[in-house]
């Protein structure tokens, strides 16, 4: 089998590396200094640079201003962004834009996607439900605003809570999954609309976030992406994109942490020798390298599979193990892997790892955030077991 990336995908990596070349991981205050966000805004200058490099819409169709590549290329860019702790919403905006492209009307696509590709529109996703331990589409209840109009034609009224929405205060629109009597629906909500309360939160890696509370919020029918899905497949697709994107961030972060650790242990001497030459140290690093390779192969399997579903307009191959199993497996490995890499790096650095003038603690904070984003590894292990138990080999 040939696992080589295409020329277009490799070109995306090179463009991303050039865009991120001068990004300093310590360009903002340390998240360990206090409980406030490291900054009140994203890195707008970097976001515009990414837009000029055609990276903000890399997986969007060319007819909507994108580069016409696939989720694998998007994940490759995310991987590079994590190496430098880039403070831009590539994950959230990219996933939301792909949901618009998949489920939105032609008018919605024409209106929104060129603005995303040009870097003028920031999209987000509300992915955690009320507590972070339940399906996100159960966090908000949608009721038809005008039942007499029949279905969604009169719009919706929303009540409920979505917690942990990264950068909600800074976004132009947020894709909010919700439940109605007929099933799940995706709604593009203005976070500053009347009735939406943004309760300030701060993530584990020091970024601004919010708990979105909906109290009788009226949403026009034009904000709905596609039809109501009785099986919730619309939210599961968007969640799948977030999973592979998060796994890509974990991989890039873990690789950079291991690179920092290898450099440090190669210079740090004890008993007249670099500690990297000690068997106990080299075995830990080797174990973490194996973790990274497992993270990589499960990521590309999941990204490739969801790319096939995207290209096939929702059709999964019935002869393969369900896509849900590949997605959950990628999330398990990325969460466990990035946690293990960060923990071993801290151990091998000793007290140096906690020095605020040294970058490792920043990477550790990002690792903890990504490990728990969308849920811990144990929750996805349950998902793998559930899918495989129902799948007939």
Number of domains in the chain: 3
Domain check: are 21 and 53 in the same one? Answer: yes
Final residue of a structural domain among 189, 209, 229: 229
Judgement on whether residues 95 and 116 belong to the same structural domain of the protein? yes
Domain-located, residue 151: yes
323-349 helix and 377-390 helix, angle to the nearest 10 degrees:
150
Helices within the chain (DSSP H only): 7-19, 44-52, 71-83, 90-103, 106-117, 233-267, 279-311, 323-349, 360-372, 377-390
Same-domain check for residues 322 and 385: yes
Q: Is 2 domain-assigned?
A: no
pLDDT digits (tens, 9 = 90+) for 143-187: 998 766 555 667 999 999 999 999 999 999 999 999 999 999 999
Instruction: Using the predicted structure, report yes or no on whether residue 1 has a pLDDT greater than 70.
Output: no
Task: Say whether both 355 and 241 belong to one domain.
Answer: yes
Same-domain check for residues 99 and 24: yes
* Element counts in the chain: helices (H) and strands (E): 10, 10
Against a cut of 0.85, is the pTM above it?
A: yes
- Whether residue 259 sits in one domain with residue 181: no
Residue 96 belongs to domain spanning: 7-121
Write out pLDDT tens, residues 316-375.
667 788 999 999 999 999 999 999 999 999 999 998 988 999 999 999 999 999 999 999
How far apart (Å, rounded) are the C-alpha atoms in residues 46 and 30? 19
């Amino acid at each position: 089998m040939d696992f080589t990336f295409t020329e277009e995908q490799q070109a995306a990596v090179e463009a991303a590396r050039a865009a991120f070349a001068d990004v300093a991981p310590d360009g903002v205050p340390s998240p360990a200094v206090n409980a406030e966000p490291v900054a009140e805004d994203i890195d707008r200058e970097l976001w515009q640079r990414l837009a000029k490099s055609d990276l903000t819409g890399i997986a969007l169709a060319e007819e909507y201003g994108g580069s016409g590549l696939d989720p694998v290329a998007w994940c490759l860019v995310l991987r590079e962004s994590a190496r430098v702790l880039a403070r831009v919403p590539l994950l959230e905006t990219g996933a939301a834009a792909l949901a618009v492209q998949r489920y939105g009307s032609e008018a919605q696509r024409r209106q929104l996607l060129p603005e995303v590709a040009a870097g003028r529109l920031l999209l987000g996703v509300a992915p955690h439900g009320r507590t972070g331990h339940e399906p996100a589409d159960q966090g908000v209840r949608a009721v038809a605003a005008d039942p007499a109009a029949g279905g969604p034609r009169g719009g919706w009224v929303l009540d409920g809570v979505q917690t942990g929405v990264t950068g909600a205060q800074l976004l132009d629109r947020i894709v909010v999954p919700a439940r109605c009597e007929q099933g799940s629906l995706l709604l593009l909500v203005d976070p500053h609309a009347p009735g939406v309360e943004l309760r300030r939160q701060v993530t584990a890696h020091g970024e601004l976030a919010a708990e979105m509370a909906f109290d009788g919020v009226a949403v026009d029918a034009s904000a709905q992406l596609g039809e109501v899905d009785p099986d919730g497949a619309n939210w599961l697709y968007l969640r799948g994109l977030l999973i592979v994107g998060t796994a890509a961030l974990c991989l890039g972060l873990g690789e950079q942490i291991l690179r920092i650790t290898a450099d440090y242990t190669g210079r740090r001497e004890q008993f007249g020798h670099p500690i990297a030459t000690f068997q106990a140290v080299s075995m830990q690093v080797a174990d973490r390298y194996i973790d990274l390779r497992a993270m990589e192969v499960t990521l590309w399997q999941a990204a490739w599979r969801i790319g096939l579903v995207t290209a096939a307009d929702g059709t999964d191959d019935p002869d393969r193990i369900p896509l849900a199993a590949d997605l959950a497996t990628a999330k398990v490995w990325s969460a466990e892997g990035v946690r293990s890499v960060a923990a071993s790096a801290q151990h091998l650095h000793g007290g140096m790892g906690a020095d605020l003038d040294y970058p490792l603690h920043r990477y550790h904070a990002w690792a903890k955030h990504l490990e728990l984003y969308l849920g811990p590894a144990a929750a996805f292990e349950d998902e793998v077991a559930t899918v495989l138990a129902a799948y007939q080999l």
